[in-house]
Chain A
Amino acid sequence: MIKNPVKKDMLINVGPQHPSTHGVLRLVMTLEGEIIRDTEPVIGYLHRGKEKLAESRTYTRYSPMVDRVDYLSAFFYQGAYCYAVEQLAGLSVPKRAEYIRLITMEFNRIASHLLWLGSFLLDLGATSPLFYVFREREEIINLLEQLTGQRMMYNFYTFGGVKKDFPEGWIAKALELCKKMPALFDEYEAIITKNPIFLERTKGIGIMSPELAIDYAITGANIRASGVELDLRKTGPYSVYEELDFKVCVADSGDSYDRYMVRIAEMRESTRLIERAIELLPGGIPEKLRVKRVNCGCDKQDCRYCGFDTRLAGKKVNPVVFKPPAGEATAMVEAPRGMVMCYIVSDGSTNPYRVKWRTPSFSSVQVLPELVKDKNYSDLMPIFGSLDVVLPEVDR
């Protein structure tokens, strides 16, 4: 037989300017026909030196930069950073502030998952869901804008609390939105979950075994879809999650479809969590709290209305003199994409000596070559999309 003179493999360069690499990921792929034989992710196109920048800034001035690590879930990065600094400086947070943090974080989680849902289906070729998720995301963002004055980069948490209390009428609006949301999720499920083409494209595609997921340090919804009940809100509770009752959403097969199902279930769970947190909010809604404070007027530490737990912003730190004692602190938060860790080393000066971020998308990108190996090129997008990677977070 004559040896085939034609080279069988084709090297194809997906990105960094490709419509569906979610930013600027570059994948160097070796294709044989349309079968993916090898993938090499190239990252770093969006590296902004977030960790190094911290060393030349005071603790307070670094705070707004933290939002930009992941523009879709800014609250979680702020949260991780603030918990780490609070741990370092030994600040305690009033309970009311913790509840405000929790409510805002959960709203942010829904917004982030919604955007993921839209872009995931866009990758699969369905254009409409993108517009529908933006409709709902817009409402959440408007709500958060009323609270923080910002739509995406909130810069809302401070060391020892949050910047301000809920404005008047905010809670009513939030509850109204929470009531509306499950019906909207039903709407998505009606058009997506049972869709035969969607099932065909995602069921059994990109199966991630629990062992593989653990090996690659996958966290968040991606590992929960593989059947590992790893949710920091449950397993290593921070904030006030211990006081709230919620279930960890898991699925067992670990394919793209399960990652979709877990995220949908998580959005539902988050709405319930917000409703419950608003019920338990120490001091109740802001209008009533103000009246009760005026009538009470005791200003004792253990008072239900004037005490520490309902005092909103804890310590207002002065950036010039805020010097946490030398030492190190680690804080972990369950972000929409997985586990976010902030590690700070302090040398006792106004600037952090070292800040290290652990971002979940970084691991998700690393596992991609394993998942797409020997799959059809068309399967790249259902797999990559379902991992919910945000590139700024990978590169930091």
Chain B
Amino acid sequence: MNFNLNDLFIVFWPVVPFIGVAALLVFVVIFLVLMERKVLAWLTIRKGPNRVGPGGWLQTFADAIKLLFKEDIMSCQANKLLFTLAPIIVFAPVMVIYGLIPFTEHFIAINLAVGLFLVFALSSVTTVGIVLAGWSSNNKYSLLGGMRSAAQAISYEIPLVISVLGIAVLAGSLNMLDIVKAQAGGLFNWNIWPAFIGFVVLFICSIAEVNRIPFDLPEAESELVSGYNTEYSGMKFALFFLAEYSALFIISVLIVTLFLGGYTSPLGFYLTQIPVLIHIEQAFWLVMKTYAIIFTIMWIRATLPRLRADQLMAFSWKFLLPLALVNLVIVAVWKVVV
């Protein structure tokens, strides 16, 4: 057995992007929670967190530390194995999706030929975790929340995937990098123009995917107390929390990647010409577009009431699904004609 440094490098190299992704994820979530609270405060004429650190910027760190030190309570009637497993099942797929997204031209942990497919396959796994959490808590509210989540997933995943299908048609590839590269060259090359209906469908479905108002039925606070995570506390709850916000970020990045040109500049050219700076600029454009989407989602949360479970299903089957199919037809025709 004689390893040289190069072998070690080859073995451990794939781990490095994952560490980077994990660090990115935690950082993103901590910022997002603060942003959400600040944005909601601004929209509802409050001040928001303003005590911990300058302007309340350290509030989320304080909250995270509090959650770490909290007692981990588990009901004695709960199914201990599944109860512990559920937050992990919810969280792990989200983390893997982070590795599949091109944040800049080279900052992509796993570049797969079927990246797009894998992203949506993984994102549906989250629902399994939520159903498990609802069932294993042995709490009736949690159970209702979990069941609602399952019903919701079946309804919105189909229009979601069909609207994304249009993108695969436009790019002629399932590779995430290829999809972005096909949109290079400025604002008017973005997929949003031919597939505008698809964009709307995907946007609505994404809100359902991350369980936010008006589709936050699994954790509808006024009905189900806290839904599937009613019984969770401490770090297990923090994992749900982490998964929720990282999913919010990643779904916005996905919308940007698929429809709004990903990391490419909307101007059609990069402001900087030095290779290293171009990467930073690409990350900048991606973050800008992503946060515009995230802000819109938060804005919707502050504005709308919640839908009822059967109304959500009727909405996605009778309205979103036909729309997604229409989008597919339009995109196919566009692909042939243009």
**Chain A interface residues (CB < 8 Å from chain B):** 10, 12, 18-20, 34, 121-128, 130-132, 135, 191, 195, 197-198, 200-201, 376-381
Stretch at the interface among B197-205, B239-247, B255-263, B299-307: B299-307
Q: What are 14 A-B pairs at a CB distance below 8 A?
A: A20-B223, A125-B216, A125-B220, A125-B221, A126-B305, A127-B302, A128-B43, A131-B44, A195-B305, A197-B307, A200-B307, A200-B308, A201-B306, A381-B222
Instruction: Decide: A201 and B309 in contact? CB cutoff 8 A.
Output: no
In contact, B307 and A201 (Cβ under 8 angstroms): yes
Of A123, A128, A195, A197, which one neighbours B222 at CB under 8 angstroms?
A123
* The residue from B40, B225, B305 contacting A124, defined by CB atoms under 8 A apart: B305
Give A130 to B303 CA distance when docked, in angstroms: 11
Question: Are B46's CB and A131's CB within 8 A?
Answer: yes
Q: In the bound complex, how far is the Cα of B293 from the Cα of A343, in angstroms? A: 60
Contact of B45 with A19 in the complex, beta carbons under 8 Å: no
Question: Does B221 contact A376, Cβ atoms closer than 8 Å?
Answer: no
User: Which 4 pairs between the two chains have the least Cβ-Cβ distance?
Assistant: A125-B306, A124-B305, A131-B44, A126-B305
Pair B144/A132 contact, Cβ less than 8 Å? no
Residues of B within 8 A of A197 (CB): 214, 304-307
Closest to B306 in A: A125
- Residues of chain A with a CB closer than 8 A to B46's CB: 131
A201→B310 contact, CB < 8 A: no
If A127-B302, A131-B44, A376-B310 touch, does A19 touch B221 (CB 8 Å cutoff)?
A: yes
* Chain A residue at minimum C-beta to C-beta distance from B148: A34
On chain B, which size bracket covers the interface? 20 to 34
Instruction: Say how far B257's CB is from chain A's closest CB, in angstroms.
Output: 29
Residues in B with CB closer than 8 Å to A380 are 223
Interface centre among B144, B216, B222, B303 (most CB of A within 10 A): B222
Distance in Å: Cβ of B196 to nearest Cβ of chain A: 21
Q: Which residues of A contact B217 (CB under 8 A)?
A: 378
Q: A379 to B44: give the CA distance in the assembly, Å.
A: 26
Partner of A376, one of B141, B214, B301, B308: B308
B335 at the A interface (CB under 8 A): no
Minimum CB distance partner of B307 in chain A: A197
Q: Is the beta-carbon distance between B309 and A128 smaller than 8 angstroms?
A: no
Most buried by B among A34, A125, A381: A125
Total A-B residue contacts, Cβ distance less than 8 Å? 80
Would A125 and B213 count as touching, CB distance under 8 A?
Answer: yes
> In the complex the two chains form, what is the Cα distance from A377 to B144 in whole Å?
10
| The residue from B43, B301, B311 contacting A200, defined by CB atoms under 8 A apart | B311
Contact check, B308 vs A128: say whether CB atoms are below 8 A apart. Answer: no
Complex CA–CA separation, A141 to B42 (angstroms):
24
Across the interface, do B225 and A201 meet the contact criterion of CB distance under 8 Å?
no
Residues A122 and B222 in contact in the complex (CB < 8 Å), given A200-B308, A201-B305 = yes
Within 8 A of A (CB), among B174-229: 213-214, 216-217, 220-223, 225
* Given A132-B45, A376-B308, A376-B309, also A124-B303 (CB < 8 A): no
B303 engages A126 (CB within 8 Å): yes
**B154 → chain A, closest Cβ, in Å?**
15
Q: Is B140 an interface residue (CB 8 A)?
A: yes
Assess the A379–B308 pair: CB atoms within 8 A. yes
- Residues from chain B with a CB closer than 8 A to the CB of A376 are 308-310
Give the contacting residue for B45; candidates A34, A127, A131, A381; CB below 8 A.
A131
CB distance from B86 to the nearest CB of A (A): 21
**Chain B contact residues, CB within 8 Å of chain A:** 40, 43-46, 140-141, 144, 148, 213-214, 216-217, 220-223, 225, 301-311
Q: Determine if B225 and A125 form an interchain contact, defined as CB atoms under 8 angstroms apart.
A: no
Chain B residues whose CB sits within 8 angstroms of the CB of A20 once the complex forms = 221-223
* Bound Cα distance A191, B308 (Å): 19
- Measured in the bound complex, the distance between the Cα atoms of B225 and A68 in whole Å is 28
User: How far is it, in angstroms, between the C-alpha of A201 and the C-alpha of B46 when the chains are bound?
Assistant: 27
A200 to B217, CA, bound (A): 15
- Cα–Cα, bound, A128→B43 (Å): 8
Q: Which of B141, B148, B213, B305 gathers most chain A CB within 10 Å?
A: B305
Cβ-defined contact, B44 with A132, below 8 A: yes
Residue of B nearest to A135 (CB): B45
| Chain A residues whose C-beta falls within 8 Å of the C-beta of B301 in the assembled complex | 127
List A contacts of B144 (CB < 8 A).
34, 377
How many whole Å from A128's CB to the nearest CB in chain B? 5
User: Are B303 and A19 closer than 8 Å at their CB atoms?
Assistant: no
Chain B contacts for A34, CB-based, 8 A: 144, 148, 309
Q: Whole-angstrom distance from the CB of A252 to the nearest CB of chain B?
A: 24
Complex CA–CA separation, A135 to B45 (angstroms): 9
A191 to B221, CA, bound (A): 21
**In whole angstroms, how far apart are the Cα atoms of A121 and B44 in the complex?**
14
Which of A12, A127, A378 makes the CB contact (< 8 A) with B309? A378
Q: Are A125 and B222 in contact (CB under 8 A)?
A: yes
Further pairs besides A124-B305, A128-B44: 20, Cβ < 8 Å: A10-B140, A18-B225, A125-B220, A126-B304, A126-B306, A127-B40, A127-B213, A127-B301, A127-B302, A128-B43, A128-B302, A131-B46, A197-B214, A197-B304, A198-B305, A200-B311, A201-B305, A201-B307, A201-B311, A378-B217
| CA–CA, A18 and B225, complex, Å | 6
CB-based contact A19/B308 at 8 Å: no
Minimal beta-carbon separation of B207 from chain A (angstroms): 12
CB distance from B40 to the nearest CB of A (A): 8
> Closest B-chain residue to A20, C-beta based?
B222
- Chain A residue numbers with a CB within 8 Å of B40 are 127
**Cross-chain contact A121 with B45 (CB below 8 angstroms):** no
> What residue in chain A is nearest B301 (Cβ atoms)?
A127
Q: How far is the CA of A125 from the CA of B221 in the complex (A)?
A: 8
Give the chain A neighbours of B311 by CB distance below 8 A.
200-201
Chain A: CB-nearest residue to B302: A128
Q: How far is the CA of A34 from the CA of B218 in the complex (A)?
A: 13
CA distance A168 to B135 in the complex (A): 63
Residues of B within 8 A of A10 (CB): 140
Are A12 and B140 in contact (CB-based, < 8 A)? Answer: yes
Contact flag A191-B305 (CB < 8 Å), given A125-B213, A125-B214, A125-B222: no
Given contacts A12-B140, A378-B223, contact A127 B44 (CB under 8 A): yes
Q: Which B residue's beta carbon lies closest to that of A205?
A: B308
* Beta-carbon nearest neighbor of A384 in chain B: B222
Tell me, rounded to whole Å, the shortest Cβ–Cβ distance linking B197 to chain A. 19
- In the bound complex, residues from chain A placing their C-beta under 8 Å from that of B310 are 376
Within the assembled complex, what's the spacing in Å between the Cα atoms of A123 and B221? 8
Max chain A C-beta neighbours (<10 A), residue from B213, B301, B303: B303
Q: How far is the CA of A195 from the CA of B303 in the complex (A)?
A: 10
Docked CA distance A195–B220 (Å) = 19
Residues from chain A with a CB closer than 8 A to the CB of B305 are 121, 124-126, 195, 197-198, 201
Nearest CB on A from B138, distance (A): 13
